Amino acid sequence: MLDYTFQYGQIWPHLPRLLGGAVLSLELALLSFFGGLMLGTVGASILTFGGSAARKAVSAYVTFFTNTPQLVQIYFLYFALPDMGIILSSFTAVLLGMTLNAGAYLTEIQRAGFESRRQSEMEAAEVLGFSRGQQIRYVILPHVARVLFPPLSNQFILMTLGTSMAAVFGVEELTGQALNINSTTFRSLEIFSVTALIYIAITLMASALLAVAGSVLFRARMRIL
């Protein structure tokens, strides 16, 4: 048995700070996810339709960011860029690092979706006068959004949890706030158990919202899948 008396009373006053941190975590996750989604769309378009030099450049980007630890990537941005005269706040460095990292993973995920495009629909679009960009926008992306909705949702949840890494750089998101409060109250078990519960609440809510969004957006198609 754990010989420990939980004293949640001491940390209640700090709850607003934790919740404020949770909002920042969510902000970080949303911004880097949607930034990464756009990078991934461009990346997947280039891998599928680009010239060989452009394809190689995107492959190198994906290989680099999916084969090095995210922490190292952000350290690099945080410490190397100032040497080149680019000063980033820790929030910006983390956001940029997470976005670039997400862009690499989301390129890979979307490439699979691009590859599953229906060639016959592409030809029909081509003959109707669609440019390559219009084919991607009107034919491929809706298809990708539908078939990749579950893996993209998973990626978002993973990234939400991944934002806790920002604490290392002093960003006062949920984990960062937990560390702050811990250093003044020393009620570690209470603080981190509450923090964990907040993360669980966020991911459960996000999953539920995504599931509802998925069934609303793709209702007509879900029925036959």
Which residues form the interface with other proteins (CB under 8 A)? Answer: 118, 120-121, 123-130, 134, 138-139, 142-143, 146, 220-221, 224
The angle subtended at Cα 188 by Cα 182 and Cα 189, nearest 5°, is 150
CB of 110 to other proteins, least distance (A): 16
Return the SS3 of 66. Answer: helix
Among 57, 69, 70, residue whose Cα is nearest residue 107: 57
CB of 220 to other proteins, least distance (A): 5
Asked if residues 174 and 164 have their Cβ atoms less than 8 Å apart, the reply is yes
CB of 123 to other proteins, least distance (A): 6
Q: Can you tell me the distance from the alpha carbon of 117 to that of 188, in angstroms, rounded to the nearest whole number?
A: 51
Nearer to other proteins, 56 or 221 (CB): 221
Q: Can you tell me the distance from the alpha carbon of 196 to that of 202, in angstroms, rounded to the nearest whole number?
A: 10
Nearer to other proteins, 9 or 129 (CB): 129
Nearer to other proteins, 23 or 222 (CB): 222
Nearer to other proteins, 17 or 143 (CB): 143
Single-letter code of the amino acid located at 65: F
Q: Which two tokens stand for residue 96?
A: 């940029």
The whole-angstrom distance between residue 77's C-alpha and the CA centroid of its chain comes to 18
Nearer to other proteins, 1 or 220 (CB): 220
Length of the chain as a residue count? 225
